[in-house]
Structure 1
Amino acid sequence: MFQTLKKMLRVLRKLVEVRRGFIEFKKTGNTPPEAYSQMINLFCETKGYSNDIIHQIIKTPKRKFPSSSGILGNYAKDDIGKITSILREKGYYIFEQGISDEIGNYLFELGCNTDLAERPLDSDGYKDKTVHSKFNPTLVPKTIRYDFDEQMLINDPIVQKILTDFSILSVAQSYLGCLPKADVTGMWWHTDFSKEPNAEAATMWHFDMDRVKWLKFFFYLTDVTPETGPHCFIEGSHRTKGIPKHLLKHGYARLTDKDVDEYYPKEKYIEYNAKKFTVIAEDTRGLHKGKALIKGSRLIFQTQFSDHLFGGTYSSKKIVRFANPEIEDFIKSNKDIYERFL
């Protein structure tokens, strides 16, 4: 009884700190580090219940989009509902229709002809200035992962087409149950520089906790095979109580295969081996990782939609040019969706 009371008081104190953080965020647009830290601690302590409660408090009303069709397919309302049901049950959805060859080839060429940053093998490496250069898949790599600048991406016309696509927005809004906020957008190469799992390259098991609730869309821009490091996910681990307390005791940390293997049956381990231009939606609150590459390289584009921008702090990135007047009008007419980039 006494221990239960102590736990309740501990949770209450953390909730108060998170509430203060939301008040501060409303004033300044910035999340206090302590409030963000306590949100993560609450998630681990309550097995996800805290995020569910906070989401219900902060979510904003949905918006009616002109259609629910777009680059992922011609969807009716019922189609979006079926996709949402699968996402809620499994935590992921592989779209039958990937992106077109035109969009896929464009993004691949962008990945081969744009400056990027060599990600260091450990967090200490971030103290040094990263080297910028174009990536050549035929040369010996210098690191496990190469990242593209988000500022460049959100000002690219095809990326803007993706960010304003009605099929993507409709799936995100249906799953989140509220107005989606355009959020973290990235693209990266993974290489066979090292065959060992690496925390900085996200090739160890982990859950994300940048926001309260979110949905990510992964775009494969190269064929992904067992040799080229498929993205992996544990089905159902995104749900409340989906990650056992023994793993959550590690906190917001990378986990080894040995850590995770003990708790999930093999049929829950999903490995996305798929052709280029495949698109996968995933709730990365569940346990996931990129598998270490045995041979070759893979290129992935990813964008995220969240329920709120409270959470992790990212450097300011702004849209300074628009692909066309239609996209400009839509973004400016929906500033609450694209506020992070305006």
Structure 2
Amino acid sequence: MLKTKLNPKTFLPKIKSIFFKIQRYQMYVAKNKHLVGTISESLLNVLHELNNIHQSSIEDVKKQELLYVLFKNSFPKVLWNWATEQKVKSISIRFYDNVIAFVEGYEQYCNTGMTSPEANHSSRQLYWMTDGKFNNFWVSFYGLFFPKYPKYLFSDQARNLGLTESRGLQNIVQEIRDKGYHLFDEKLSREICDRLTKFAENALCKLAPHYPDISTEKYLRYDSDNPKSVTYRVDEQELANNPDIQNLIADSSIISVVQEYFGCRATLRDLSMWWSTAFLKGDADSSSAQLYHWDGDSVKFINVFIYLTEVTSQNGPHCFVRGSHLTKPLSLLRDGRFSDQEIENFYGKEHMDEIVGKRGTIIAADTRAFHKGKALEHSERLIIMLTFSMDLFGATYSSIQLSDGLTDALSQSMKHFPYSYSKFRVGK
């Protein structure tokens, strides 16, 4: 019988980690005995308190303050009670350790607006440990305190895209729930595409990745005849100052789709524009998201993509695994990149969609699903991505400073939907 010799350098750190997690769990339970209970009991108590606040005759501002206090005071108990009733396909102590890290991290986020790396890591871990059940529960609970904006607020707001006019809001949202994405009939106008393309051609972009042996400069303007990297990224701050972009993020039809999908209010987390090139001539670059992966920068989020150039199968279509936002096999429930073959083995080629489209094509996608940008064989692709999330907890984000000279559409939208622009600051 062969005996395996344990390597102390790898074995002992793992043992120490397990003991640390056990000790942390024991200390947390001992310190928070008031958390003991059932999820049904704790939710009923919260709903009772919510009803009392909503039925009170106090001013709306005071109600919002009381709702936020109730949320902060109640979510640790509700989430802990939910966790104790789960059956996870993992080591229980690891699961509870991540729940504790999330609760403590979210308490810190409520007080500071910042997310610690450990808290962000715990959020991602809880996603794959529960196959998304944690995320679904958390957003439904969050929605009790931060409900959708009422319909009357949308009646007189800018709806230049009119994304819900041809298919209807509920049909669009249901398709995202079923498939994971929706390809809109409406498109961004040719005139706006032209202006934004010209803007991107003149913008100083960050090369990603940067190849020092090819270019000593990390920032360059995109030259279609002589690309020096896979991706050229436009600065987010510069992007936010563009009037066409301001009108785009002010469009209330986008906000209505996103919040309806979430079941709660949504905030614009990230604003991106980038050129994808054929620099590697069809070979995929992992750092440029050209291999299948899933996103976990926030507990609940959705991306709105807009093609500013025509996209075919050969120049970088967004590839999406239909239905993979709903559940994933145990073998794929992990962070990292995945080959086409790994994805095809489980989901089948018939569920792997390549989304091609004319200039102005608009897509809304829940990128908890497996997805990628296909490596370009020729030409280039210019794309805009608006990332909306339920809050700003999660991966690091950049605040945006805007001057007082906003477009009328954005100025009005920020007044009506302030939560949706939480990361934006206006004026000096």
TM-score by length of 2: 0.73
Q: Point out the structure with the larger helix share.
A: 2
Instruction: Note the C-alpha offset of 1:335.
Output: 2.6
Cα-to-partner distance string for 1:149-192 (whole Å, 9 max, x where unaligned): 01111121111111110111111111111111011110000001
1:318 alignment partner, SS class: strand
Q: Which residue of 1 aligns with 2:279?
A: 193
Q: 1:284 aligns with which of 343, 367, 385?
A: 367
Query: Superposition pairs for residues 50-129 of structure 1, below 5 Å?
Result: 50-59=134-143, 60-64=146-150, 65-67=153-155, 70-73=159-162, 75=164, 79-120=168-209
Query: Counterparts of 1:326 and 1:156 in 2: how far apart (Å)?
Result: 13
Query: Counterparts of 1:117 and 1:13 in 2: how far apart (Å)?
Result: 38
Give the partner amino acid of 1:66. Answer: F
Q: Which residue of 2 aligns with 1:15?
A: 99
- Contact conserved, 1:69 with 1:76, CA < 8 A, in 2? no
Query: Counterparts of 1:326 and 1:190 in 2: how far apart (Å)?
Result: 30
Q: 1:175 aligns with which of 256, 261, 265?
A: 261
Query: Counterparts of 1:56 and 1:290 in 2: how far apart (Å)?
Result: 30
Greater C-alpha Rg = 2
Q: Which has the higher contact order (CA 8 A, sep 6+)?
A: 1
Q: 2:390 aligns with which of 284, 289, 307?
A: 307
Q: Which residue of 1 aligns with 2:83?
A: none
1:203 alignment partner, SS class: coil
1:184 alignment partner, SS class: strand
Q: 1:25 aligns with which of 105, 109, 121?
A: 109
Query: Counterparts of 2:284 and 2:164 in 1: how far apart (Å)?
Result: 38
Cα-to-partner distance string for 1:238-295 (whole Å, 9 max, x where unaligned): 11x2x211011xx221112222221111110110111111101100010000000011
Please say if 1:203 is aligned against 2:290: yes
- Range with greater deviation from structure 2 (331-340 or 15-24): 331-340
Q: Which residue of 2 aligns with 1:34?
A: 118
Give the partner amino acid of 1:246. Answer: S
Q: 1:145 aligns with which of 226, 231, 234?
A: 231
Gaps of 5+ in 1: none
Please say if 1:328 is aligned against 2:411: yes
Q: 1:238 aligns with which of 293, 313, 325?
A: 325
Instruction: Note the C-alpha offset of 1:70.
Output: 2.1
Query: Counterparts of 2:106 and 2:405 in 1: how far apart (Å)?
Result: 31
1:331 alignment partner, SS class: helix
Gaps of 5+ in 2: 1-86
Please say if 1:135 is aligned against 2:222: yes
1:102 alignment partner, SS class: helix
Query: Counterparts of 1:283 and 1:273 in 2: how far apart (Å)?
Result: 18
Give the partner amino acid of 1:283. Answer: D
Q: 1:101 to 1:78 in 2, by over 3 A?
A: closer
Q: 1:136 to 1:218 in 2, by over 3 A?
A: same
Corresponding residue pairs, total: 331
Query: Counterparts of 2:89 and 2:342 in 1: how far apart (Å)?
Result: 30
- Contact conserved, 1:58 with 1:308, CA < 8 A, in 2? no
Instruction: Note the C-alpha offset of 1:121.
Output: 5.9
- Contact conserved, 2:237 with 2:400, CA < 8 A, in 1? yes
Instruction: Note the C-alpha offset of 1:333.
Output: 4.6
Instruction: Note the C-alpha offset of 1:233.
Output: 0.2
- Contact conserved, 2:246 with 2:406, CA < 8 A, in 1? yes
2:402 alignment partner, SS class: coil
- Contact conserved, 1:155 with 1:321, CA < 8 A, in 2? no
Q: Which residue of 1 aligns with 2:251?
A: 165
Cα-to-partner distance string for 1:7-53 (whole Å, 9 max, x where unaligned): 33432221121011110001111001111101111111111111111
Query: Counterparts of 1:42 and 1:212 in 2: how far apart (Å)?
Result: 10
Q: 1:43 aligns with which of 110, 121, 127?
A: 127
Q: Which residue of 1 aligns with 2:399?
A: 316
Please say if 1:247 is aligned against 2:332: yes
Q: 1:217 to 1:228 in 2, by over 3 A?
A: same
- Contact conserved, 2:250 with 2:409, CA < 8 A, in 1? no
1:81 alignment partner, SS class: helix
RMSD: 2.3
1:211 alignment partner, SS class: coil
Give the partner amino acid of 2:154. Answer: P
Q: 1:129 to 1:259 in 2, by over 3 A?
A: farther
Q: 1:182 to 1:322 in 2, by over 3 A?
A: farther
Q: 1:265 aligns with which of 335, 348, 366?
A: 348
1:254 alignment partner, SS class: coil
1:227 alignment partner, SS class: coil
Give the partner amino acid of 1:34. Answer: E
